[in-house]
Structure 1
Amino acid sequence: MSDVKNEWPLWEVFVRSKQGLEHKHCGSLHAADAQQALQMARDVYTRRMEGVSIWVVPSATITASEPEDKAEFFEPASDKIYRHPTFYEIPDEVGHM
């Protein structure tokens, strides 16, 4: 059986524990297809009835940024002042914003 599992694709599992909260990555598992991945994720990651929603995503389809690209992706451009909150005038009627 372990040989078959090694041939199955790897799935990343995300569980939302309460209504209104975000899904959090809780682990990975091997499964033949999405439906089996959902069933296995339910059995492995929500045994105590703590989950309200499960996402399974094939690991091969996830694209992530690289740590060396941090500046390019996450630091705001200093030449685009319209992205800074000081660029906008807030009317007095808005109050304590």
Structure 2
Amino acid sequence: MTEYTAEGGHGAVPTEGVPVAPEPAAVRADWPLYEVFLRAKRGLNHVHVGSLHAADAQQALHHARDVYTRRNEGVSIWVVPAGAITASSPDEKDPFFAPAGDKVYRHPTFYDIPDDVPNI
């Protein structure tokens, strides 16, 4: 026989087999971290706008849309697993970028610019 109760003003509800405490949900801290890049208009670059945790890339894309484009700010979103990004350190700026400094031909000051060229 099923036991019924009317506690809480909900009427007669079967209580047999109903768990008392909710099951613990998946811990979101265990979800991978994704970096979010947004392009505001066609022709512009994607810009890093933030990070979020998601269970997979598709969910990260949907969460990024909901969080970072609430006012129609973007036309394109990239989500990249943070673990897939390799970056140089700001502390290594001088030794890392030094090889480009000795190639003067890469600088526009090395070339003669014609007067009829308005912008370079």
TM over 0.5: yes
| Greater percentage in helix | 1
CA RMSD of aligned residues (A): 2.1
Q: How many residue pairs are counted as aligned between the two chains? A: 93
TM-score between both structures, scaled by the size of structure 1: 0.79
How far apart are 1:19 and its partner, in Å?
1.3
Equivalent residues in 2 for 1:57-72, closer than 5 Å? 57-72=80-95
TM-score for both structures, normalised by structure 2: 0.65
* Percent identical residues: 63
1:15 equivalenced with 2:22 (yes/no): no
**Deviation of residue 60 (structure 1)?**
0.7
| Structure 1 segments (4+ residues) deviating >2 Å | 72-78, 80-90, 94-97
Deviations 1:5-44 (A, max 9, x none): 0110000011111111111111111101100000011111
Higher relative contact order (CA 8 A, sep 6+): 1
Residue 84 of structure 1: CA displacement? 3.5
Unaligned ranges ≥5, structure 1: none
> What is aligned with 1:43?
66
Q: Which runs of 5+ in 2 are unaligned?
A: 1-24
Residues in 2 aligned to 1:81 and 1:14: alpha-carbon distance in whole angstroms = 33
Letter in 2 for 1:70: K
Structure number with bigger Rg? 2
Which residue of structure 1 aligns with residue 53 of structure 2?
30
Q: CA deviation at 1:70?
A: 0.6
1:69–1:56: structure 2 CA closer, same or farther, 3 Å change rule?
Answer: same
